[in-house]
Amino acid sequence: MELLCAVPLASRTTLGVGGPAAALCMARSEADVAEAVEWAHAHGAPLHVLGGGSNVVVADAGVPGLVLSIALRGVEWGDDGRVTARAGEPWDALVRTATERGLAGIECLSGIPGLVGATPIQNVGAYGQEVGETIERVRALDRESGAVVELDGAACRFAYRDSFFKSGAPERYVVLAVTFRLTSGGAPAVRYPELERELRARGLQRPSLADVREVVLELRARKSMLFDLADENGRSCGSFFVNPVVSAARADELAASAADTSMPRYPQADGRVKLSAAWLIERSGLAKGTRDGAVGLSTKHTLCIVAHEGARADDVVRFAARVRRHVRERFGVELEPEPALWGFAQPPTP
């Protein structure tokens, strides 16, 4: 395996902040991954797995131990809608090609930055679609046994922004490849009200997969939710907070306390209700564009925390703590950060 020392990580993340990795391994094969895991174990070093860097905040002091950068490439397209992609494949490129091939199932996940290997971990979702709906199996290295295992969709225990990999056995597995079962010639998923309205406004009563992908990309661009360094809001992790899920009774209480019956509410299959974190942030008194120095909310979407020129990682997590405090004090709801925090012994408080 290729092992490098004192490697800067800021340029390897979409947020663009943070210090170096004490050591970094570029894993271009499954053997590289296994060797890196064995090396970390032998040296008693913590191991962090880095994909596209779109869902991580690296501490200013950097990250101790070994950072494993996933660079496994390759995609196999079957005749029955099955697609197997290695963990280091760029996610949006896979979505684009699937759409061009007429394969339905991931079209609403267009424009999400990062790599394929990260998608099953938090069950990536957007515009009414979740990746767990189409994952047939995940090939992964078990860091405890050193064995390569294959988990089917049921074993992955997908839930809203969650999976067995994230909450059941955090940091135990390194994803090597993902197999999706897509639908050849299938209709696109149009379940999300905003997406439905936009398609209707364009006169697309029976949109194609390409139509849905195009509209999703445009909706994301309007909110600066595409990774674009030319955009003033470009340096971010995308959604910094997970939309909270509460009981139906609690949702009614929150709407009443806000004196706003139009509060966005999305009923879940288990009877609970998903709320809009962006709506809660704005109603707590933090408007789009609110800033503390070099860090602030996106001017287009309150769910994004943006690192402007001169920002540091401490500034980012401190601002995130401020946002959480505002929402907690106004609504009694605790927002949970979506990105992982690396190298923080104790995240700064507001």
Which residues are marked as active site?
161, 239, 338
Q: Where are the alpha helices (DSSP H) in 9-160?
A: 30-42, 91-100, 153-156
Which of 277, 194, 291, 287 lies closest to 240, judged by CA? 277
Buried b / exposed e along 158-181 (16+ C-beta atoms within 10 A): bbbbbbbbbeeeeeebbbbbbbbb
What are the two backbone dihedrals, phi and then psi, of residue 161, each rounded to the nearest 5 degrees?
50, 35
> Which tokens belong to 68?
């494993």
For residues 15, 18, 21 and 27, what is the CA-based torsion angle, rounded to 10 degrees?
0
d(CA 90, CA 92): 6
**CA angle (150 as vertex; 144, 153 as ends), nearest 5:** 115
- 152: exposed, middle or buried (Cβ count in 10 Å: 0-12, 13-18, 19+): exposed
DSSP at 165: I
Buried b / exposed e along 267-300 (16+ C-beta atoms within 10 A): eeeeebbbbbbbbbbbbbebebebeeebbbbbbb
What are the two backbone dihedrals, phi and then psi, of residue 14, each rounded to the nearest 5 degrees?
-75, -20
SS3 of residue 53 by DSSP:
coil
